[in-house]
């Protein structure tokens, strides 16, 4: 079939748009890869079943949605070539803008021709952070009442009760895991376990006088893994990473 000038223009625009959208295919591939691994974990794997966020979904669907839209506009050129050229020309503006704005659904920022790296640990980080804030609030209240933070297993248990052991987002072998808690006496600085036995363990590092503590937590930093590590925080502006980039809560309001 011989194409007229408008149809040739539609084909050229479609190829350019497909190339631009296709450059983000790694996001879709990563999402499919993690979905498969979470759905088919090994017996020793720890998994986070609900590991996605709104931006994860937006990133994963970016390429398929644009491929369908471009293909539909190209098909339209068979009957209405001028309309198709107008639509495809508008896509040249809309596609880079959508690429830049997609991360905003998760509070991030993008670039005109580049999505952020697939946020596969955001849901885990949010759940861990919520748990750390709960523990932190209880410890702050106890510190306000007693004048110092707990420094023994017994006083820590009296303050926190069963709160440290609520259900976590982690599973293994089809069983939901609970959070854990460990007391670490040091200078009240962030504790980092070299090889945590499981994800979801909160490390309460407090100095001997009970004047300062830091909470850190083990995790996966991925939807599925058989090697727990310390949960990492998001990147800080200017590259500053307090406590070595660990997800942490700190309090030091009382005399040391």
CA distance 108 to 234: 11
Q: Is 60 exceeded by the pLDDT of residue 28?
A: yes
DSSP per position, 77-137: TTT-HHHHHHHHHHHHHHHHHHHHHGGGGGT---BTTBPPPP-TTHHHHHHHHHHHHHHHH
Q: CB-based contacts of 191: which residues, under 8 Å, 6+ apart? A: 184, 203, 205, 214, 216
Tell me what percent of the residues of the chain surpass a pLDDT of 70: 86
Q: Give the pLDDT confidence score for residue 101 in this predicted structure.
A: 63
pLDDT digits (tens, 9 = 90+) for 186-212: 999 999 999 999 999 999 999 999 999
Q: Is 70 exceeded by the pLDDT of residue 57?
A: yes
- For the chain, what's the residue count? 256
CA distance 176 to 223: 14
CA distance 156 to 29: 45
Q: Give the pLDDT confidence score for residue 107 in this predicted structure.
A: 47
Lowest mean pLDDT of 5-14, 102-111, 119-128, name the range: 102-111
Mean pLDDT of 174-192: 95
Element holding 179 (H helix, E strand): none
Place of tokens 């820590």: 156
Cβ neighbours around 195 below 10 Å, total: 8
Per the prediction, the chain carries an average pLDDT of 87
pLDDT digits (tens, 9 = 90+) for 217-246: 999 999 999 999 999 987 544 455 667 789
pLDDT digits (tens, 9 = 90+) for 238-255: 455 667 789 999 988 644
Where on the phi/psi map is residue 210: left (φ > 0), alpha (ψ -120 to 50), or beta? left
Q: Is 0.85 surpassed by the pTM of this model?
A: no
31, 60 contact by CB (below 8 A): yes
pLDDT digits (tens, 9 = 90+) for 58-107: 888 989 999 999 999 999 998 999 999 999 999 999 888 777 665 544 44
Q: Give the pLDDT confidence score for residue 237 in this predicted structure.
A: 44
Mean pLDDT of 113-123: 66
Q: Give the pLDDT confidence score for residue 100 in this predicted structure.
A: 66
Q: Any idea where the domains of the chain sit in the sequence? A: 5-106, 122-251
Q: Give the pLDDT confidence score for residue 85 in this predicted structure.
A: 94
164, 202 contact by CB (below 8 A): yes
Looking at per-residue pLDDT, the higher value among 126 and 3 belongs to: 126
Q: Which residues of 148-174 are buried (b: 16+ CB within 10 A; e: fewer)?
A: bbbbeeebbeebbeeebeeebbbbbee
Q: How many CA atoms within 13 Å lie on the side-chain side of 69?
A: 18
Place of tokens 């959508």: 98
Mean pLDDT of 15-39: 90
Q: Is 50 exceeded by the pLDDT of residue 256?
A: no
**Dihedrals φ, ψ of 203, to 5°?**
-105, 115
pLDDT range class, residue 155, cuts 50, 70, 90: very high
**Dihedrals φ, ψ of 200, to 5°?**
90, 10
Q: Give the pLDDT confidence score for residue 103 in this predicted structure.
A: 53
Cβ neighbours around 80 below 10 Å, total: 13
Q: Give the pLDDT confidence score for residue 217 in this predicted structure.
A: 97
């Amino acid at each position: 079939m011989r194409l007229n000038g408008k149809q040739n223009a539609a084909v050229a625009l479609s190829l350019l748009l497909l190339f631009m959208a296709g450059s983000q295919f790694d996001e879709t591939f990563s999402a499919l890869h993690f979905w498969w691994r979470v759905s088919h974990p090994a017996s020793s794997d720890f998994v986070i079943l609900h590991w996605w966020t709104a931006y994860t979904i937006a990133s994963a669907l970016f390429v398929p949605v644009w491929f369908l839209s471009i293909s539909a506009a190209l098909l339209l050129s068979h009957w209405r070539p001028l309309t198709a050229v107008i639509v495809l020309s508008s896509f040249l503006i809309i596609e880079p803008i959508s690429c830049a704005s997609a991360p905003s659904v998760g509070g991030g920022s993008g670039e005109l021709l580049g999505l952020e790296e697939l946020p596969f640990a955001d849901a885990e980080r949010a759940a861990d952070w919520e748990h750390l804030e709960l523990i932190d609030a209880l410890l702050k209240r106890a510190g306000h009442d007693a004048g110092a933070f707990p420094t023994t297993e017994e006083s820590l248990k009296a303050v926190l009760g069963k709160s440290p052991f609520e259900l976590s987002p982690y599973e293994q072998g089809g069983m939901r895991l609970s959070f854990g808690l460990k007391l670490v006496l040091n200078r009240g600085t962030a504790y980092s376990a070299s090889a945590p036995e499981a994800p979801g363990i909160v490390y309460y590092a407090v100095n001997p006088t009970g004047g300062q503590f830091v909470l850190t937590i083990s995790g996966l930093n991925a939807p599925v893994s058989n090697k727990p590590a310390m949960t990492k925080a998001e990147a800080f502006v200017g590259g500053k990473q307090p406590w070595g980039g660990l997800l942490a809560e700190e309090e030091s309001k009382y005399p040391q």
